[in-house]
Structure 1
Amino acid sequence: MGKQGIGDKVQQIEAMELRLNQFNAARALALPDKKPMVLKLGDSLLLMETSGPESMYYNRVKGFGPSDLDKLDLILQEYESRDLIPCFDIPPGRMTVEVGTALHQKGFVCAEQLTFLEAGHGSPPTAPASSVEIKEVDEHLADDLLNSISRIMGGVPSEILERKKPYFILPHFRNYLAYIGNEIAGIGSLFIHEREGYLANDYTFPEYRGMGCQKALIARRLAEAAKLGLTSVYTDVRFGSASHENMRLLGFEQVFTTSFWIKA
């Protein structure tokens, strides 16, 4: 992490993750179209999206901590007035006994933890030798990608796929397909903002798991990030998961773990 303090790095990753959140809302394959709102109340950012009232991802309070304890009721009222259920996204620097007690008294519990990682700054790893072939998605492969996503989601109407297709071939949102033989085995994306990147949307179809798809996808995206001159590449995983282990083996370093508090 060089001379950059851990607090600065946490803020940098949180800002990048927020940009990804807003982009994901725009390209989401859902009806109605998502129209996220962001309100600032004290040091807290209130992310709200009325088409998915129970979504932990789109209805989050970011930045809440000791300085905003006196605003907790106001924050909850903003969500309640829109029939939304908030999730409090709290990194370790803001997690205190007082914060945990206040949330618990309002009926919130810590339900999940997410670890944010940064790629090492050495040479990009080489993909392990395998039968996996990685292709970057362009206008010719966009339909294959979207059909794969539709399959993962259990079916998406064709008119939505066609309308949202342009989002999946943008220069700042690069998508990749992993093939085993002639079959699509997995997908992954690289979101870019200025000189930073974020690995997201990793998925391997069940019948191809354990064959090196994600390691090949990660290596390819890190190589692309190096080629583009990106200064940092981030991702998030559930702590201790297979994805966490893959990232660790490919040189990613843990920066921080955030906790998600939801209404019990």
Structure 2
Amino acid sequence: MKTTTVNSLIAIEKVESEAWLDMYAAAPDSYVTSSKTSYARLGTSVGLADQGVPIAEFNRVLGLGIAEPLSEEGLDQAIAWMNEHASELYSLQIPPTALPDMIHEWIQAKGFKRTGRGWAKYYRDSMPVESHPMPTTLEVRLVEPHHATDFGYAAQVGFGFPESLISWFSALAGRPKWRVYVAYEANHPVACGAMFIDKNWAWLGIDATLPDYRGRGAQNALIKQRLTDGIALGVTGFTAETGQPPEGQEDTNKSYCNYHRAGFNRVYVRPNYMKVD
């Protein structure tokens, strides 16, 4: 792969931010009310909050300092919004292109600490997609709105989320910029994956497989189908992310290996900063 440019790194962050922002905008009113879900553009960054799902994936700030240098006042405003709306377990995610460099110092001075191993961010261009050496027997289908609950069900069960999230994930089927896919055994939904396309960039996410069907190649097939369809639609840059495995153990992480096998390369690890008690 060619060296990833700064503009590409910024685009990787932007398309992910826009995907999550639009996903929150799609949440049904009943879910928003019951789970206390909210989202906002915080200057050039994005704030996501879901008190009903108190994990960092659903409670975080993305894109701090990527479109233009962040001011300390802007950081304070983002933190204040999160303190008001998000679960206590929220995170601030800082990409390598964030400006100014002192963002990390500001965050730590405000009581935040880098936690965990961070998120591995991947990039892939539009080179042809190769077939997996061991094709799955599962059938991957693009989900139309009348089968939306198949996607919602696979995502909810695959991730082990509350049943209330079925309606939220289902709302993405047929939504502009989104294409959602399900892997079926016969007509039973057993795995899923989504693709959000904004201009010529695509974000791949919501990759989930029911426990009894893991290890059968569903995610390899779902990644291939999304890449194939995205390339046909004119996408030139794809991105995705997984948790960063421990050093030296990357080959034991299935999600990490699935994306590398599909031609993605890890371009950076994005740290999470969380409030220290």
Higher radius of gyration, 1 or 2:
1
The answer to whether 1:103 aligns with 2:107 is yes
Give 1:156 deviation, angstroms: 2.2
Distance 1:133 1:53 in 2: 31
Give 1:205 deviation, angstroms: 0.7
Match in the other structure for 2:32? 31
C-alpha contact 1:52 1:58 (8 A) present in aligned 2: no
Return closer, same or farther for 1:255/1:164 CA change in 2, 3 Å cut-off. closer
Q: Read off the aligned partner of 1:155 and give its amino acid letter.
A: E
Q: Read off the aligned partner of 1:253 and give its amino acid letter.
A: N
Distance 1:80 1:119 in 2: 32
Match in the other structure for 2:9? 10
Return closer, same or farther for 1:51/1:37 CA change in 2, 3 Å cut-off. farther
Q: Read off the aligned partner of 1:144 and give its amino acid letter.
A: D
TM-score between both structures, scaled by the size of structure 1: 0.81
Quote the RMSD (CA, aligned, Å). Answer: 3.3
Q: Read off the aligned partner of 2:77 and give its amino acid letter.
A: I
Give 1:230 deviation, angstroms: 1.1
Match of 2:265 among 231, 253, 256: 253
State the secondary structure of the residue aligned to 2:260.
helix
The answer to whether 1:129 aligns with 2:135 is yes
Return closer, same or farther for 1:176/1:46 CA change in 2, 3 Å cut-off. closer
C-alpha contact 2:122 2:241 (8 A) present in aligned 1: yes
Return closer, same or farther for 1:102/1:126 CA change in 2, 3 Å cut-off. same
How many residue pairs match? The answer is 257
Return closer, same or farther for 1:246/1:53 CA change in 2, 3 Å cut-off. closer
Distance 1:11 1:97 in 2: 15
The answer to whether 1:220 aligns with 2:225 is yes
C-alpha contact 1:131 1:181 (8 A) present in aligned 2: no
Match in the other structure for 1:47? 47
Query: Mapping of 1:43-122 within 5 angstroms?
Result: 45=45, 47=47, 49=49, 56=56, 57-60=58-61, 62-64=63-65, 68=70, 70-71=72-73, 74-75=76-77, 78-79=80-81, 82=84, 84=86, 87-94=91-98, 98-112=102-116, 113-122=118-127
Distance 2:189 2:112 in 1: 41
Q: Read off the aligned partner of 1:36 and give its amino acid letter.
A: Y
Match in the other structure for 2:144? 138
Distance 1:95 1:261 in 2: 16
State the secondary structure of the residue aligned to 2:146.
coil
Distance 1:50 1:246 in 2: 29
Q: Read off the aligned partner of 2:47 and give its amino acid letter.
A: L
Deviations 1:151-196 (A, max 9, x none): 4423228xx83x8855322252111111234432201111111222
Deviations 1:51-86 (A, max 9, x none): 669663444163249x65743773376337736555
Distance 2:125 2:101 in 1: 33
Match in the other structure for 1:153? 161
Give 1:5 deviation, angstroms: 5.9
Match in the other structure for 2:250? none
After TM superposition, the structure 1 stretch with the greater mean CA deviation from structure 2, 234-243 or 190-199, is 234-243
Distance 1:167 1:213 in 2: 20
Give 1:143 deviation, angstroms: 2.8
Return closer, same or farther for 1:101/1:74 CA change in 2, 3 Å cut-off. closer
State the secondary structure of the residue aligned to 2:84.
coil
Return closer, same or farther for 1:59/1:143 CA change in 2, 3 Å cut-off. closer
Deviations 1:191-248 (A, max 9, x none): 1112221111000111111111100110111111121121111111112332111100
Match in the other structure for 2:249? none
Q: Could you tell me the percent identity over the aligned residues? A: 20
Distance 1:187 1:88 in 2: 27
Q: Which runs of 5+ in 1 are unaligned?
A: none
Deviations 1:97-155 (A, max 9, x none): 85444433332111241121112432112244221211110133223223334444232
Match in the other structure for 2:248? none
C-alpha contact 1:88 1:260 (8 A) present in aligned 2: yes
